[in-house]
A and B are shown apart, each in its own frame.
Chain A
């Protein structure tokens, strides 16, 4: 059967260009960068106006807040329509129902304004009311107390928002920094990924006697990029659905714990924000969760940029990019060793490209583009002209994308719906987490600390 040769439909191929959110994140991110650039070069303030949010108000009375919204209601309406158009059209093309997306996104937008407003309270920092953590907690409370209808998830697109934000982040990320710190990030990521994956795999199979496919799914899930990695490896090794259920539960629970654990331990240890960002990038499981943790600690430590840079270098460049290679290796092991009789087509090295998180390309393109455009400005002109007119509006739009993401994490996490993982998988994964967190701290603070401390300057 499996060896018969017949005509069949082709793989996804070029359809990926309009069916995958990674590509849409690139189109939106790069599109926003171009529009911002055109507006900047023509002296237009339209993009700047559309980045409005109450996060920087430092308000101390509700009168100030209502006065701000009263004066800017038209801008907020225009901003909402702009987001609705760009996200609404793209999600429609990907196959998400517009009739579900629009009302859901409007609710997400209103909640986001409330998060910004909380962050803009004059005493917010005093009470550690960092918008990423507040957004996450409020989202979790709503999702687990209020019975939200399932269709609302159509607007809570965690990954789409974070990927769009990461492409926008590329526009404010100097390419020279990637070139200088990238190799360190790769080295640290290789050490941590191998140590974590092998620990989980061997504890799961040798100590707890678990299925090697389950061990590989939770091993790479814990070592590389959480649920996304679990999906990739599950399909490579023909894992049972149950294996993926287990991995999703373990990753979601531990990722949520780490969002709070790493920032608050970093605060206790008074860690440099670049070092803490690298630690988050080493030990968090998902991009969305990691950005929440890194942004929160960056705000606590007064240098958000350093924490985000450390995280991005370690997680996006150091770990995420290599999921295709992990996937290919496990597909080969599965096909050649574990299931020789029912392999089907031998895994192709093209798997590395198919599974490559394409939004990373957008991050690099945005970085190269902006580095090239701003290279001709002297430092004084950059700070006086380019930063307020071009960079800060892009940063503000990125912050919007991140807030949509952080809220969406909470709003889509319903603990009662998560499947039980079982004690053995939980034990194996937890041992891997402990190794990962401890080793991540040692590498980020002691071994490579001198590199990470220089970020954000």
Chain B
């Protein structure tokens, strides 16, 4: 079901929430934790600003993903 929500990082093309990519990006992360854990929720990397962000956040550089356009 689709919901009306504010634009957020989740639908930005610079956002990467893939757990395998996150574990590869941060050496040592999987030694004592995991990107597949509930604690991470669906946080990910902003490849534009080099941030680790919650997908519900946003910024003025937002650019939509292809999937977002496809609706």
Partners in one complex: yes
Task: Report which A residues bind B (CB closer than 8 A).
Answer: 1-12, 16, 19-23, 94-96, 150, 153, 156-160, 225-229, 231-232, 234-236, 238-245, 248-249, 251-252, 255, 285-286, 288-289, 323, 331, 342-345, 347-348, 351, 354-359, 409, 412-414, 417-419
CB contact list, B1-52 vs A, under 8 A: 1-11, 19-20, 23-45, 50-52
* Across-interface contacts of A358 in B (CB, < 8 A): 38
Q: Are B26 and A2 in contact (CB under 8 A)?
A: no
A294: shortest Cβ distance to chain B, in Å? 15
Known: A3-B6, A11-B42, A160-B36. A241 touches B52 (CB 8 A): yes
* Across-interface contacts of B43 in A (CB, < 8 A): 231-232, 234-235
Q: Are A235 and B54 in contact (CB under 8 A)?
A: yes
* Bound complex: CA A9 to CA B68 (Å): 7
Instruction: Identify the closest chain B residue to A320 (Cβ).
Output: B39
Instruction: Identify the closest chain A residue to B71 (Cβ).
Output: A7
B32's contact among A94, A243, A347, A409, by CB below 8 Å, is which?
A409
* Across-interface contacts of A359 in B (CB, < 8 A): 38
Sample of 11 more A-B contacts, CB < 8 Å, known A8-B68, A226-B32, A418-B27: A5-B6, A6-B5, A21-B37, A158-B31, A227-B29, A229-B39, A231-B39, A243-B52, A345-B5, A357-B38, A417-B27
Task: Report which B residues bind A (CB closer than 8 A).
Answer: 1-11, 19-20, 23-45, 50-60, 62, 67-68, 71
Q: Are A344 and B59 in contact (CB under 8 A)?
A: yes
B36: shortest Cβ distance to chain A, in Å? 4
* Across-interface contacts of B67 in A (CB, < 8 A): 9
* Across-interface contacts of B40 in A (CB, < 8 A): 228, 231-232, 235, 355
Q: Are A6 and B28 in contact (CB under 8 A)?
A: no
Instruction: Identify the closest chain B residue to A234 (Cβ).
Output: B52
Most buried by B among A16, A248, A351: A248
* Across-interface contacts of B55 in A (CB, < 8 A): 11
Instruction: Identify the closest chain B residue to A10 (Cβ).
Output: B3
* Across-interface contacts of A234 in B (CB, < 8 A): 43, 52
Q: Are A228 and B39 in contact (CB under 8 A)?
A: yes
* Across-interface contacts of A6 in B (CB, < 8 A): 4-5, 7
Instruction: Identify the closest chain A residue to B30 (Cβ).
Output: A412
* 11 examples of A-B residue contacts, CB within 8 angstroms: A5-B4, A7-B5, A10-B2, A96-B20, A158-B33, A235-B54, A236-B54, A251-B32, A286-B33, A344-B59, A357-B37
3 closest cross-chain pairs (CB), A and B = A344-B58, A235-B43, A227-B33
* Across-interface contacts of B54 in A (CB, < 8 A): 235-236, 238, 331, 347, 351
Instruction: Identify the closest chain A residue to B19 (Cβ).
Output: A95
* Across-interface contacts of B52 in A (CB, < 8 A): 231, 234-235, 238-241, 243-244
Instruction: Identify the closest chain A residue to B27 (Cβ).
Output: A417
A18: shortest Cβ distance to chain B, in Å? 11
Q: Are A240 and B27 in contact (CB under 8 A)?
A: no
* Bound complex: CA A319 to CA B37 (Å): 16
A27: shortest Cβ distance to chain B, in Å? 14
* Across-interface contacts of B35 in A (CB, < 8 A): 231
* Across-interface contacts of B68 in A (CB, < 8 A): 8-9
Instruction: Identify the closest chain A residue to B23 (Cβ).
Output: A153
Q: Are B26 and A8 in contact (CB under 8 A)?
A: no
Q: Are B50 and A345 in contact (CB under 8 A)?
A: no
Instruction: Identify the closest chain A residue to B7 (Cβ).
Output: A4
Q: Are A342 and B27 in contact (CB under 8 A)?
A: no
Q: Are B51 and A95 in contact (CB under 8 A)?
A: no
Q: Are B38 and A16 in contact (CB under 8 A)?
A: yes
Known: A3-B6, A241-B50, A255-B32. A419 touches B27 (CB 8 A): yes
